[in-house]
Amino acid sequence: MRFVKFREIFSKAVLGGCTPQRLTRSFCCGVYIAFSPFPGAHTVMMVISKYFFNLHFPTLFIATSINNPWTMIPFFSFDYVFGYWFTHSLLGWEPSLGWEPSWIISLTRVFGVGKICIWSFLIGGNILGIVAAVASYPVVNKFFDRLAAAIAKNRML
């Protein structure tokens, strides 16, 4: 009963010519956009992705909506923490040792406050977005394939 509206939307998409692969690509692109470290640009990224990659907009919107005002702080915090770990532990950026590449910008230099590394946030968000999108692809593809088969089976009865 909870998924009746979703099933209706999906049925219209499948019957309207959307393939499960197109829906899967749309969902995975939405997952990347949800993790992307560009606050305020998610809607623009959705619209541009829809037209450039010929994606299914309702599916793209649903996946992108994983990151909403209630989940924004945990998403962006996780992006930053992962990016900080990646850049400082794996790549060895350590400003306290006097070695900091000139292209690393910190909020201290930009705004005069904080010790937050912008590159940690940007790199972490993009890596996590790509990993989440790629990791979700097989699961979402299987889900959409099975749902399409169930809808086709119900149509034939």
Distances (CA, A) of 48 to 9, 54, 102: 22, 10, 32
pLDDT band at 32 (very low <50, low <70, confident <90, very high): very high
pTM of the model: 0.78
pLDDT for residue 121: 84
For residue 66, the 8-state DSSP code is: T
pLDDT for residue 131: 95
pLDDT for residue 28: 95
pLDDT for residue 107: 53
pLDDT band at 154 (very low <50, low <70, confident <90, very high): confident
Burial 3-30 (b: 16+ CB within 10 A, else e): eeeeeeebbebbeeebebebbbbbbbbb
How wide is the angle at C-alpha 39 spanned by C-alphas 35 and 44, nearest 5°? 90
* 3-class secondary structure, 68: coil
Whether pLDDT at 96 is above 60: no
